Chain A
Amino acid sequence: MLMEKKLYTVIVYSENIAGMLNQVTAEFTRRQMNIETLNVSSSNVEGVHRYTISLWTTEWLIQRVTKRLEKKIDVLRAYYFTDNEIFMQEVALYKLSTPRLLENKQVSKIIRHNNARVIEINSAYTVVEKTGKTDAVLSLYKEFAAEQCVLQFVKSGRVAIVRDANVNLSENLFDEDVVRSKVRR
């Protein structure tokens, strides 16, 4: 069980200071663990940054790496989750050729069927936005690509929120009494 490879999502809260990202990713680099997605931004707590990192690995390794992350002086908390424990989304932007979109009605249908949103139209290009899981945003790209209308495509790393109704990860960030790791009792 511990040695089965799965996609894990690691969520880290740290102080917002220079060099933190390096410290966080170094723990993965040290073991040559390849990061699939990485999202870093300010959190709901002032001065605290939140990292959402996804990667394929084993529970045995991710347990140990998560503890090491949490040990860093300026890291407040580190957690890891499997996909069934979280809601996660990615944002994708598709820059499509407006002339191709106008001459090929299929493209508009694809946008509607996928619940994607048009956020910019001009005579040269149209920007479409789609939020969803990795598969959904990538399959939309493939559909557009099949119609040969894509000028540019980009997708973000995942952001994730915990499913458990009783868990608020950013709660008690500074409370020493809270056991610092979900890894251990």
Chain B
Amino acid sequence: MKKELITGGEALLRSLINEQVDTIFGYPGGSIIPVFDALYDHQKDFHQVLVRHEQAAVHAAQGYARSSGKVGVCLVTSGPGATNTLTGISDAMLDSTPVVVIAGQVSSAVLGTDAFQEIDLVGVTQPISKWSYQIRSAEDVAWAVSRAFYIASTGRPGPVVLDFTKNAQVSQVLYEPMKVDSVRSYVPYPKPNMDCIKEAADLINRAKRPFAVVGQGVELGEAHKELIAFLEKGGIPAARTLLGLSSLPSEHPLCMGMLGMHGNLGPNVNTNECDVLIAIGMRFSDRVTGKLETYAKQAKIIHLDIDNVEIDKSVPVDIPVLGDCKETLPLITELLNENCHKEWIATFGDLDKIENEKVIEKAVNPTDGPILMGEVARKVSEATGNNAILVTDVGQNQMFAARYFKYKLPHSIITSGGLGTMGFGLPAAMGATMGAPHRTVCYFAGDGGFQMNIQELGTIMEQKCPVKMIVMDNSYLGMVRQWQQLFYDNRCSWTPMCNPDFCKIAEAYGIPSRFVTDRSELDAAIKEMVETPGAFLLSVVVRAEDNVMPMMPLGASVCEMILE
């Protein structure tokens, strides 16, 4: 291929094209103008999304990445542009989301002089990213971009930061495309250890009460079919973590629900009843395990994970199965005896009955009183044929939506799990409509989180993103209020919130909306939302002091869930 003399900024864009990038979420500024200038000539090559705040650029890229399986890309300026991305980078790190954040930087010659809008971005992002690198010359661009995409998307995915100095953007380079497909110090896909595979299969074959706990690793590894084959052959009941909810369809007979602090009773209680616990692509988050000292102590534990750091990190493992679960699951399945564990599975049903009666029925089918978040979530899910992508904000809205939504298709939940970032949902939903343009995207938020990135209504308007926004307004920061009620003597410090008319805000952006306070209007409003093409805001006044139940209080064991 003939080499061509171009600027570093142009080289960046050609490198992005080389990585099949089709969408960029960005915001221009002084130190990145040369790249935006080059973008002017590439309007056909990229869907250029001007967000309204750089934090939203990263969350949108996360939503795009998680709905499409591709790498999300952000382009921002130095200094405040770069620091505004830090929350999103941290979020992507904790939730293993492949994004590449490209930030402008002052020229190499003035680095370290406190130049205008200079911050040490590599220094700041090293601990919160998978890889962070400063591009100081145009010659470096092709290699750095390709390496960034390779690192972000392989193994356990994560965010990569490229800090692009201005001199490197403007200087000329004889550009040649490059493809990095290995890094000698990085082993993204560890080779499965066959001894461990055999030991794991043997243990599962001998188990009387095996139980699989499944996380986002299955989604990231596209191992949905492999998971189902494994569960069905071994007759193994399974539950999913928050991030892994769509790794196994809700209606699958072996799906026992959701794990965690606000998960279902059956899987949480039975974690401490099983004899073999098989963790698949999940990291034993403290929100899943509760009190570690009492977590699954009776069980032998098998842990399938791609990341060696997760093995033994918080829960001691009997048999580690390091590797990509798309590869390791079939290897174990092959060695499994066909089994069914009927009686064991029935115990989940018994616990389901209790939860149904004490919690679920009341949450999704109330007959009087104010509207409840649970019923909104279930109705919206059903109105979309349970085919929609659920994007949530953080807090009660997240837990109610996650619990009462139903998941039929892979990649159907996008939520901030590890970092718990309020304000994540709206931009992430916006990104998801671009990552999965043929799917319905339903965004659930509370009145608090909606207002944390509400400026993105501007981007939604401009880009015509068909986000179905469901704002469940209880005029409280509900999850904190719940804790204050339960553990702080009901002292609701700083949690009541006075809110604007959200529909009027939507109207200002030309987004159709509906305001609902009465249960009798809810079905029609949801129908209108689903049937209206494009974006829609459903502003629902919900019960002010509702609590998410069941709940595993902080410091309690998985089997000590409170129901009321």
Contacts and interface: CB of A to CB of B under 8 A. Distances in A.
B342 interface: no
B462 interface: no
B185 A64 contact: no
A180 B308 contact: yes
- Give the interface residue-count category, chain B: 20 to 34
State the majority secondary structure of interface residues on B.
mixed
Contacts of B311: 184
Contacts of B174: none
Interface stretch (B24-32, B124-132, B331-339): B124-132
Given A64-B313, A184-B320, A74 B123 contact: no
Nearest to A178: B187
A68 B191 contact: no
A61 to B, nearest CB: 11
Contacts of B191: 176-177
Interface stretch (A15-23, A84-92, A149-157): A15-23
Nearest to B127: A26
Contacts of A165: none
Contact of B187 (A30, A180, A184): A180
Nearest to A13: B185
A70 B196 CA distance: 21
Nearest to A63: B312
B1 interface: no
B6 interface: no
A131 interface: no
B122 A19 contact: yes
A43 to B, nearest CB: 13
Contacts of A68: 309
Interface in A67-100: 67-68, 70-71, 73-76
B546 to A, nearest CB: 37
B184 interface: yes
Interface string A27-67: 00010000000000000000000000000000000011001
Contacts of A14: 185
A67 B307 CA distance: 10
A170 interface: no
A64 B308 CA distance: 10
Contacts of B187: 176, 180
A67 B132 CA distance: 19
Contacts of B151: 73
A181 interface: yes
Given A22-B126, A30-B127, A75 B308 contact: no
A126 to B, nearest CB: 41
B40 interface: no
B190 interface: yes
A71 B307 contact: yes
Contact of A71 (B126, B184, B308, B312): B308
B186 interface: yes
B183 interface: yes
B126 A181 contact: no
Contacts of B312: 63-64, 183-184
A184 B305 CA distance: 14
A73 B307 contact: no
Given A22-B126, A177-B191, A180-B190, A76 B308 contact: no
By Cβ-Cβ distance, the 7 closest A-B pairs, closest first, are A76-B185, A73-B131, A67-B309, A174-B184, A26-B127, A71-B309, A73-B186
11 contacts: A19-B126, A23-B126, A30-B127, A63-B312, A64-B313, A73-B183, A73-B186, A76-B185, A183-B312, A184-B308, A185-B193
Given A73-B131, A177-B191, A184-B312, 10 more contacts: A19-B132, A23-B126, A30-B127, A63-B312, A71-B307, A71-B308, A73-B183, A76-B185, A180-B187, A180-B190
Interface of B: 122-123, 126-127, 130-132, 151, 183-187, 190-191, 193, 196, 307-309, 311-313, 320, 322
Interface of A: 14-15, 19, 22-23, 26, 30, 63-64, 67-68, 70-71, 73-76, 174, 176-177, 180-181, 183-185
